[in-house]
């Protein structure tokens, strides 16, 4: 596999299928029984993820949401909102939510990311110098289409609306993240059924999600640089606070007396 990856152009752009085809040719020449295309592709993706982890996190964020199933959930399916570092595949923050109220779900995930960065498992990570780009999957919440304009007014890195739900979670972890099985995009609406209060009360399922995130990150952290005095990029913190701010506003409005 290393030989095939070493033939990647100097600009670092990896075309997965081309690497797989090269590996298949090498395997056919050296082995009597070559692995299947699917097996080779899975191994190429694993190697690509491992090599990506040589960089520092915090330079490129992906906001994603996806329906998932997992044993022992209180409901058959849930919707997870996640903030992922694109280069290292770290999940900075995650939360359960309703796909029709993605702003709230991303607010919870952003608050979770701030906790991890400040006092949690990411508190001594060495970070990139600056946040350069952010992409956001809107889910079923059309109101998030205006987020790019709001982010620009806040002088944040451009937030670009992205495509199909689950694309970035699958890029980071494959079809599963631990016990979580990611479901197809058309399951998002079905999994979004249930009111917001039901999601807020899902304490046990929320805890199960956090366990899977910690296990996922634990496999990545040993490959990353550590820093006893970490300095997350200002744009990263500002972006997370931007999303968590909407959550704080909603909470304050709910707390106001009638």
Tell me the per-residue pLDDT of 74-129, one tens digit each, with 9 for 90 and over: 888 999 999 999 999 999 999 999 888 888 899 999 999 999 999 999 999 999 99
Query: Do residues 79 and 21 both lie within one domain?
Result: no
**Co-location of 34 and 147 in the same domain:** no
Q: Are residues 8 and 64 in the same domain?
A: no
Q: Are 28 and 68 found together in one domain? A: no
- Asked whether residue 76 falls in the same domain as residue 35, the answer is no
- Residue 143: its pLDDT value, please? 77
**Range scoring the smallest mean pLDDT among 6-15, 35-44, 129-138, 234-243:** 6-15
**C-alpha count within 13 angstroms, C-beta hemisphere, residue 185:** 13
Residue 108 sits in the same domain as residue 170: yes
Q: Chain-wide mean pLDDT for the chain? A: 81
Residue-wise pLDDT tens digits, 184-224:
988 888 776 654 555 666 789 999 999 999 999 999 999 89
Residue 131: pLDDT band with limits 50, 70, 90: very high
Task: Look at the chain and report how many structural domains it folds into.
Answer: 2
Same domain, 129 and 236: yes
Task: Tell me: do 20 and 131 sit in the same domain.
Answer: no
Residues spanned by the domain of 134? 60-255
Task: Clarify whether residues 20 and 82 are in a common domain.
Answer: no
In terms of pLDDT, which residue wins out, 101 or 51? 101
Both structure tokens of 142? 């059309």
Residues 94 and 205 in one domain: yes
* Confidence band of 14 (pLDDT split at 50, 70, 90): low
pLDDT exceeding 70 applies to what percent of the chain?
Answer: 73
State the pLDDT at residue 112: 97
Residue 5, pLDDT score:
45
Looking at mean pLDDT, say which of 17-26, 117-126, 149-158 comes out highest. Answer: 117-126
**Alpha carbon distance 113, 222 (integer Å):** 19
Tell me, yes or no, whether 131 and 176 share the same domain: yes
Where residue 27 falls among pLDDT bands split at 50, 70, 90? low
Verify that 156 and 186 share a domain, yes or no. Answer: yes
| 3-state secondary structure string across 22-43 | HHHHHHHHHCCCCCCHHHHHHH
Which of 52, 75, 91 is the endpoint of a domain?
52
Model pLDDT, residue 149? 76
Whether the predicted pLDDT of 254 surpasses 80:
no
Nearest to 102 by CA among 175, 186, 161: 161
Q: What is the mean pLDDT of residues 163-185?
A: 93
What pLDDT shows up at residue 55? Answer: 82
Using the 3D structure, point to which of 11, 30, 52 is the last residue of a domain.
Answer: 52
Between 35-49, 63-77, 94-108, 144-158, the lowest mean confidence (pLDDT) is in 35-49
């Amino acid at each position: 596999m290393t030989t095939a990856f070493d033939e990647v152009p100097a600009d670092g752009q990896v075309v997965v299928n081309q690497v797989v085809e090269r590996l298949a040719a090498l395997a056919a020449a050296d082995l009597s029984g070559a692995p299947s295309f699917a097996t080779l592709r899975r191994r190429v993706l694993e190697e690509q993820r491992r090599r990506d982890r040589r960089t520092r996190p915090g330079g490129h964020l992906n906001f994603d949401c996806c329906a998932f199933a997992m044993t022992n959930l209180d409901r058959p399916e849930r919707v997870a909102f996640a903030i992922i570092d694109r280069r290292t595949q770290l999940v900075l923050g995650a939360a359960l939510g309703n796909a029709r109220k993605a702003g709230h779900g991303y607010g919870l995930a952003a608050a979770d990311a701030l906790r991890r960065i400040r006092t949690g498992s990411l508190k001594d990570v060495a970070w990139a110098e600056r946040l350069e780009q952010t992409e956001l999957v809107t889910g079923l919440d059309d109101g998030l289409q205006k987020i790019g304009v709001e982010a620009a007014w806040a002088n944040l890195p451009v937030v670009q609306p992205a495509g199909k739900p689950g694309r970035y979670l699958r890029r980071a972890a494959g079809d599963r993240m631990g016990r979580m099985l990611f479901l197809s995009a058309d399951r998002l609406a079905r999994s979004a059924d249930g009111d917001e209060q039901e999601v807020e009360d899902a304490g046990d399922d929320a805890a199960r999600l956090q366990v899977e995130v910690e296990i996922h990150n634990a496999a990545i952290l040993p490959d990353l640089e550590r820093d006893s005095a970490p300095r997350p990029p200002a744009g990263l913190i500002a972006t997370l606070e931007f999303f968590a701010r909407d959550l704080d506003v909603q909470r304050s409005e709910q707390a106001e007396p009638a």
